[in-house]
Amino acid sequence: MINISRRNPWALWPNSICPAFLSNPAVDRLQGDQYWKIDVDFSYTEHNISRQKDIFCIVPKYTGLSVHDKRVFIGVGHEDKDDWHGTNTFIQPNTREKWTFEHFPKDKLRVFRNGELEFEYTLVMRPLAVVSTPQEPIVFIGTDRHIVNDQSETHDITFYEFKITVSEGVICHHDWSELIHGKSVDKTGNCNFLYEMA
């Protein structure tokens, strides 16, 4: 478990800290042409409640989960543009939530809340983006950007677990139980470190 502020979010961006460690980073699997699933287990605080809280997001084509004034927003990053879906779902501060994004290439993105299907977006005509070099997918937890000097240091989110699963199984799993030099050790042993951005 870890408390996260907007000033010190976390990132899954292995090529920025240890490119030689990995031949197949987990973020490279978070593409529009591949099956993947992201599980997040979190609660958000009442602090800065009127500001958008990005629980997690995949960039540069934004796919992710955000909360603003208790309202849930889903980002879906297509090739041509990102769609931003304001939902009629609301969550309460200091309540533990488990959300799952499950992506089926060129078919659908299914979003579950506490094990129940909450949303389903068709991707048949507009699949999720495939990001190619020199860009690369990055996952942010706690913000949607990497320049955060002007953000609040008050804890907005408590994160319990973050997991990425692909067709071969779980390839990235964090519960922040083992921290080394501002990095969370990947429980799978795959060296997909999450690190705190200072």
pLDDT in tens, 28-68: 999 999 999 999 999 988 887 787 888 999 999 999 999 98
Give kind and range of the element (H or E) at residue 83.
strand 82-90
Q: What is the amino acid identity at position 193? A: F
What does each C-alpha distance from 119 to 69, 70, 76, 92, 94 come to in angstroms?
20, 17, 12, 19, 23
The torsion defined by the Cα of 127, 167, 42 and 57, in degrees rounded to 10, comes to -30
Overall average pLDDT of the 136-164 stretch:
83
Q: Are 171 and 56 in contact (CB under 8 A)?
A: no
For the whole model, what pTM was predicted?
0.93
Rounded alpha-carbon distances, angstroms, from residue 32 to 63, 74, 113, 129, 152 = 10, 16, 22, 5, 33
Longest dimension (CA), the chain: 44
Q: Quote the pLDDT of residue 46.
A: 84
Q: Does residue 70 contact residue 55 with C-beta atoms inside 8 Å? A: no
More confident residue, 85 or 15: 85
- In this model, does residue 127 exceed pLDDT 90? yes
The backbone torsions φ and ψ at residue 158, rounded to the nearest 5 degrees and listed phi first, read -110, 120
Predicted local distance difference test score (pLDDT) of residue 17:
65
- The confidence band for 114, taking pLDDT boundaries of 50, 70 and 90, is very high
β-strand partners of 189: none
For residue 144, name the pLDDT band (cuts at 50, 70, 90): low
C-alpha to C-alpha distance for 168 and 127, rounded to whole angstroms = 22
State the average pLDDT for the chain: 90
> What is residue 15's DSSP assignment?
H
Residue 191, pLDDT > 80, answer yes
Phi, psi (5° rounding) for residue 14?
-60, -30
Spell out the domains of the chain, with CATH numbers in brackets.
2-196 (2.60.120.200)
pLDDT at 149: 72
- Amino acid identity for residue 161 in this structure: E
Residue 56: predicted pLDDT: 95
pLDDT at 67: 92
Q: 10: how many CB neighbours lie within 10 A of its CB?
A: 26
Distance CA 174, CA 144 (A): 19
Q: If residue 87 lies in a helix (H) or strand (E), which one and from where to where?
A: strand 82-90
Nearest residue to 171 via CA among 187, 194, 195: 187
